Amino acid sequence: MNEKYKTLFDSFTFQNGINLKNRLVMAPMTNFSSNEDGTVTDAEAEYYARRSKGVSMVVTACTYVTRSGKGFHGEFGADTDEMIPSLRKLASAIKAEGAKAVLQIFHGGRECPPELVPNGDIVSASDVQSERNSAKAPRALTGEEVEEIIAAFGETTRRAIEAGFDGVEIHGANGYLIQQFFSPHSNRREDKWGGSLEKRMAFPLAVVDEVKRVTAMHAKEPFIVGYRFSPEEPEEPGITMADTLELIETLAEKDLDYLHVSLNDFWSTPRRGVDDDRSRMEIIHERVGGKVPVIGVGSLYSADDVIQAFETGVPLLALGRELIIDPDWVEKVETGRENEIETKLDTGAQARLVVPDPLWQAIVNTPGWFPGVQ
Catalytic residue annotation:
176
Separation between Cα atoms, residue 10 and residue 25, nearest integer Å: 13
The verdict on whether omega for the bond into residue 237 sits within 30 degrees of 0, i.e. cis, is yes
**CB contact set of 91 (below 8 Å; sequence gap of 6+):** 101, 103, 160, 163, 164, 165, 166
**CB contact set of 249 (below 8 Å; sequence gap of 6+):** 287, 288
Beta-bridge partners for 261: 229
Separation between Cα atoms, residue 268 and residue 350, nearest integer Å: 31
**CB contact set of 196 (below 8 Å; sequence gap of 6+):** none
Nearest to 186 by CA among 242, 241, 138: 138
Separation between Cα atoms, residue 334 and residue 306, nearest integer Å: 13
Separation between Cα atoms, residue 177 and residue 349, nearest integer Å: 36
Neighbours of 304 (CB within 10 A): 13
Beta-bridge partners for 259: 227, 294
Are 43 and 319 in contact by the 8 Å Cβ rule? The answer is: no
Backbone phi, psi, residue 363, to 5°: -65, -50
Backbone phi, psi, residue 61, to 5°: -55, 160
